[in-house]
Structure 1
């Protein structure tokens, strides 16, 4: 009975299991189908597993966009690396980010070549990547569509180097203590903005053979050569940069056409704020140039340029000499300011008067004649503390009077190829070069002026028939008065004391040096070198530290009535002089010889006095 009951119970349990099993199997199949469907969806969406975030320290990165093969380091390879994301499109560029490379094992920190994919190099630090002349922290060769942003490239040969590259942006980078901060070669349509280029051992930024590039809002300071150097580039825009405290030029533009330099600060540079060399059709607008050592703006053999609205302090504008046609091709006006006063620039004018120069900061005249600059009253004109106070080029029959032109970075007054101009009663002191400088002119008159404490007080180069009288040239570092290659000089009644040499005349014939005073000079009072048929008469040449009067390789001269006392060595010295007359001179109380003649013959020496000399 018991056995029969157990069998019935077992059959009942088996029946229940068979009833439940089909339902369980259907549920299991349903779960499997849903899981497979999810997997298929994921495969269809091609979802990538996100790469881990972080910073990376590879030894270097090299990508060649044209490379092929199993081991090719192209973008396909790069996107598999932990330091690269993106797909290379404009909307999803490749991104190389947060990479640090110090003392890389290859020559460049990051090198990308032969690429047109869109990419960005961002927030990377590259230090000491290589010191060879082709090495760079970041280097692009034959690359388009790249952005280099917010990177630090320090103590490399080049911070960033690009060659044959188009449509790239370099922005927000720190490029310090490299040889050059940024160097672009043969690269067009690029944008360089908001970078800091400081303390590089040569230039902050170099562009060579580049076109259609914009350089804006960069800070480029304290570089050992130029802040920005642009060589043989066209259609470059340089706008709103701070290019200051560089040892050479702020911005140096060489052999360019159709470039624009706008709204920049170029301050405290060792040479020029803007150096425009052999460059034409340049727009130089609204720049600020403060206390550059030479010029705020230097136009060096550059023509058809527009120079407007620039503000210069303790420097000004200088133009190199050329023909009238080229020199008058530039556009410039009184919207340019020098020391808070207008710069007056006139071409092809006649009969200008003082009212045309009201409150002048600087004056430039080209091919302008019969004008009166300054006045004989007590007001006058003060054009001090700039580059050249007054410059006249190819201008004739003008009178400059009662002008103060001192403390300029070059000259006080400069006249080039002028005829029959008169400079009178002007004060030119403490200019870095020449107080008054005349070159390649004829029949000019320099009267009653002061030229003290300059490098040269008065400098006359290739000036024929010049009359220089009643001027004072004291305490100049080199020469009180210097005449070179000039015929028919008449220099009379001038005072030239306490200079290196008082009056120096070289390669100049048929002149008269009369009644001048040249005392207490460090070397010679009066020195004539290769001068013939000249009269040297009635000069007071005393107490000079070497010799009072010296003639060297001078023939057919008359030296008469001069006084040479108390010179440290010789009173009068003739060396290699022939067929001259030395008469009625007084040469007493000199430290060596009163009159000393060496290697000279066929001279007439008579009625001279040489007493109380040491020899």
Structure 2
């Protein structure tokens, strides 16, 4: 009779998988434990014998505290595989049990066990029932459980399922190759700890928190998808205030960590998230916003798409206040950090974002993001790329170097503040604005970029102030088709073309800029209404040492000072320090850009440090120049000179070595001698 009831019940369950878990499992609670054997090496073990792994073989285990025939006390009295009293100091223990697969529903089900302390240890169980809410072990409305060192693998459902259960610990278990999830928490399962488990190659998710699960800790787990498991960890449906910490999450088919619909105030910290098929971390807000989550101190590398992505489709709820801080995000397939539409007020701070195959940071839409104190280096496209910003973003104090395109690119975005960044050696422009208005670019250090330091294209009413721009390839600041902008109090130097370039750009206010060392100070083409006030245009000074004479008593050096075009500079003011002493009074102007200095001889041995000769040179309309020589004259050379008649050293030739050392060959009394080494530092 029981067999026919079982068959009928099984058919009903197969047809009715959409029913809730309590209904499904209550059917199985009707069954009794009919087959229990005790085996070890084919010999019967007495109930007093030590319990070893695999020594207890049972069909299934059901504990239901609402049924007096199936509660912990009754089971402990009836079966040898359970011991203890259910208190903190004497918990019930189920240990060293193997659950056979002869029963399709649940290998282990603990139901309505609140306040009872128990341990399940060294148990092996699996089920052939293909349902994500069923698996190797199910805890329904349970607290104070401790699941340790069990093997819940190869289930047709999930490995471990907690439903409406709290204050349980899942530690050191193997959860591999289950057809759904490794571990699943659902329906208000709170304050649980999931620690140090090995979770590999499950078909759907490694760990899944679904529907109002809060205050859980997921820590020190190995979650290896082996390119088959869909995602490593997923939080969904208002699972909030959880901590995901120190996990290794690798090789999942899609995301390493995925959040969706109304998951807030979670912390993702110190995880290694590597080699996943899509993003390392993705927050998908299209079914509900995701607020105030923190992503901190993670290693996010080599994921096939982005490092971190937060966003939703258009016209979906807005996610706000998420924090991305102190992560190392490198070599991901798309952008390092990607904040898409309908995300506001995020903080991206203190991250190292390098060598990603798209942009370092990509901000699309949204408003009031802050990007601060990040190192954004050597990304394939832009360092920071902003499109369609809806309101103010603050981009400040970042190091944005050596990116493949622009350092910072602002595209059709208004009211941004770009301040105090160091932007260097990017392959295109340091900062570029396209069709972007009312932005402020201030206090940045922008150097060695391959086109311009700052480029405005079709952009109006922007302020460029207080920036230091040096050695940008073509232009310091360039405007094209851009009107009503303000360029004030910038230092712009050493561009190959112009310091400031205005092309078809009208009504620009250009004032109080120091512009020096550029081929052209200010270049204005096809523009009207621009105002230029109180700008200082400097050129660059160049120094050439054209003659040196050395005796035992004095050294004589002749300098030639010119501009970048070779024009000689007369009337320069030259301050000179020889071995730390001010000897400027010995400098003599000879005319035609030549200046002579006579110094008291200081001889040094070949092993002694050289003597420092410093020049500070100023000339009206030119950038101040500091010039330095290190001079060594060996006493042996002076001795040779005395033998030759105490004649001065006439320079015959010199050789510049790859290390920057100049070897001087001189004629002393008709004899050619190598006597001087000068190391030129500037």
Q: When the two structures are superposed, what TM-score results if normalisation uses the length of structure 2?
A: 0.47
Counterpart residue number, 2:129: 130
Matched, 1:226 2:265: no
Matched, 1:333 2:333: no
CA distance in 1, matches of 2:185, 2:298: 24
Match of 1:113, SS?
A: strand
CA distance in 1, matches of 2:299, 2:395: 31
1:170 CA displacement: 0.4
CA distance in 2, matches of 1:287, 1:356: 14
Match of 2:218, SS?
A: strand
Q: In structure 1, which of residues 264, 272, 291 is the aligned counterpart of residue 279 of structure 2?
A: 272
Residues 359 and 181 of structure 1: CA distance in aligned 2, closer, same or farther (over 3 Å): closer
Counterpart residue number, 1:612: none
CA distance in 1, matches of 2:59, 2:393: 70
Hey, which of these two has a bigger chunk of strand by percent?
Answer: 2
Match of 1:272, SS?
A: coil
Q: Which moved more, 1:358-367 or 1:263-272?
A: 358-367
CA contact under 8 A between 2:353 and 2:375: conserved in structure 1?
Answer: no
Counterpart residue number, 1:383: 403
Q: Which moved more, 1:145-154 or 1:335-344?
A: 335-344
Q: Which moved more, 1:133-142 or 1:73-82?
A: 73-82
Counterpart residue number, 1:262: 269
1:382 CA displacement: 3.6
CA contact under 8 A between 1:121 and 1:148: conserved in structure 2?
Answer: yes
1:77 CA displacement: 2.3
CA distance in 2, matches of 1:169, 1:257: 23
Runs of at least 5 residues in structure 1 that lack an aligned partner in the other structure:
1-48, 373-379, 406-412, 428-441, 446-465, 468-615
CA contact under 8 A between 1:370 and 1:396: conserved in structure 2?
Answer: no
CA distance in 1, matches of 2:330, 2:323: 20
Counterpart residue number, 2:340: 320
Counterpart residue number, 2:66: 66
CA-to-aligned-CA distance 1:478-528 (integer Å, 9 cap, x gap): xxxxxxxxxxxxxxxxxxxxxxxxxxxxxxxxxxxxxxxxxxxxxxxxxxx
Residues 58 and 417 of structure 1: CA distance in aligned 2, closer, same or farther (over 3 Å): farther
Counterpart residue number, 1:187: 189
What's the C-alpha RMSD, in Å, of the aligned pairs? 4.7
Residues 109 and 358 of structure 1: CA distance in aligned 2, closer, same or farther (over 3 Å): closer
CA contact under 8 A between 1:269 and 1:292: conserved in structure 2?
Answer: yes
Residues 249 and 51 of structure 1: CA distance in aligned 2, closer, same or farther (over 3 Å): same
CA contact under 8 A between 2:392 and 2:416: conserved in structure 1?
Answer: no
Residues 219 and 394 of structure 1: CA distance in aligned 2, closer, same or farther (over 3 Å): same
CA distance in 2, matches of 1:134, 1:358: 44
Residues 392 and 217 of structure 1: CA distance in aligned 2, closer, same or farther (over 3 Å): farther
CA distance in 2, matches of 1:349, 1:60: 54
Q: In structure 1, which of residues 214, 224, 241 is the aligned counterpart of residue 247 of structure 2?
A: 241
CA contact under 8 A between 1:129 and 1:137: conserved in structure 2?
Answer: no
CA contact under 8 A between 1:111 and 1:140: conserved in structure 2?
Answer: yes
Counterpart residue number, 2:93: 95
1:348 CA displacement: 7.2
CA-to-aligned-CA distance 1:451-497 (integer Å, 9 cap, x gap): xxxxxxxxxxxxxxx99xxxxxxxxxxxxxxxxxxxxxxxxxxxxxx
1:168 CA displacement: 0.2
CA distance in 2, matches of 1:252, 1:344: 19
1:415 CA displacement: 8.9
CA contact under 8 A between 1:65 and 1:75: conserved in structure 2?
Answer: no
1:270 CA displacement: 0.9
1:396 CA displacement: 7.1
Aligned residues: 366
1:336 CA displacement: 3.5
Match of 1:89, SS?
A: coil
Matched, 1:288 2:299: yes
Counterpart residue number, 2:518: none
CA distance in 1, matches of 2:374, 2:189: 47
CA distance in 2, matches of 1:292, 1:152: 29
Residues 52 and 360 of structure 1: CA distance in aligned 2, closer, same or farther (over 3 Å): closer
CA contact under 8 A between 2:433 and 2:459: conserved in structure 1?
Answer: no
CA-to-aligned-CA distance 1:357-410 (integer Å, 9 cap, x gap): 9856531455569999xxxxxxx9543599x985657247999999548xxxxx
Counterpart residue number, 2:74: 76
CA contact under 8 A between 2:355 and 2:377: conserved in structure 1?
Answer: no
CA distance in 2, matches of 1:414, 1:147: 58
Residues 168 and 358 of structure 1: CA distance in aligned 2, closer, same or farther (over 3 Å): closer
Counterpart residue number, 1:163: 163
Once the two structures are superposed, the pairs formed by residues 304-319 of structure 1 within 5 Å of their partners are 304-315=321-332, 316-319=336-339
CA-to-aligned-CA distance 1:282-311 (integer Å, 9 cap, x gap): 111111111111111112153211111110
Matched, 1:251 2:271: no
Match of 2:75, SS?
A: helix
CA-to-aligned-CA distance 1:145-180 (integer Å, 9 cap, x gap): 001110111111110001010100000000001120
Counterpart residue number, 1:46: none
CA contact under 8 A between 1:344 and 1:360: conserved in structure 2?
Answer: no
CA distance in 1, matches of 2:409, 2:385: 6
CA distance in 1, matches of 2:346, 2:369: 15
Match of 2:125, SS?
A: strand
CA contact under 8 A between 2:105 and 2:129: conserved in structure 1?
Answer: yes
CA contact under 8 A between 1:79 and 1:87: conserved in structure 2?
Answer: no
1:279 CA displacement: 1.3
CA contact under 8 A between 1:306 and 1:331: conserved in structure 2?
Answer: yes
CA distance in 2, matches of 1:308, 1:270: 23
Residues 370 and 265 of structure 1: CA distance in aligned 2, closer, same or farther (over 3 Å): closer
CA distance in 2, matches of 1:113, 1:60: 14
Counterpart residue number, 2:119: 120
Residues 331 and 82 of structure 1: CA distance in aligned 2, closer, same or farther (over 3 Å): same
1:102 CA displacement: 3.0
Match of 2:205, SS?
A: coil
Residues 114 and 389 of structure 1: CA distance in aligned 2, closer, same or farther (over 3 Å): farther
Matched, 1:363 2:361: no
CA contact under 8 A between 1:276 and 1:302: conserved in structure 2?
Answer: no
1:263 CA displacement: 0.4
Match of 1:100, SS?
A: strand
1:345 CA displacement: 9.2
Match of 1:77, SS?
A: helix
CA distance in 1, matches of 2:351, 2:310: 17
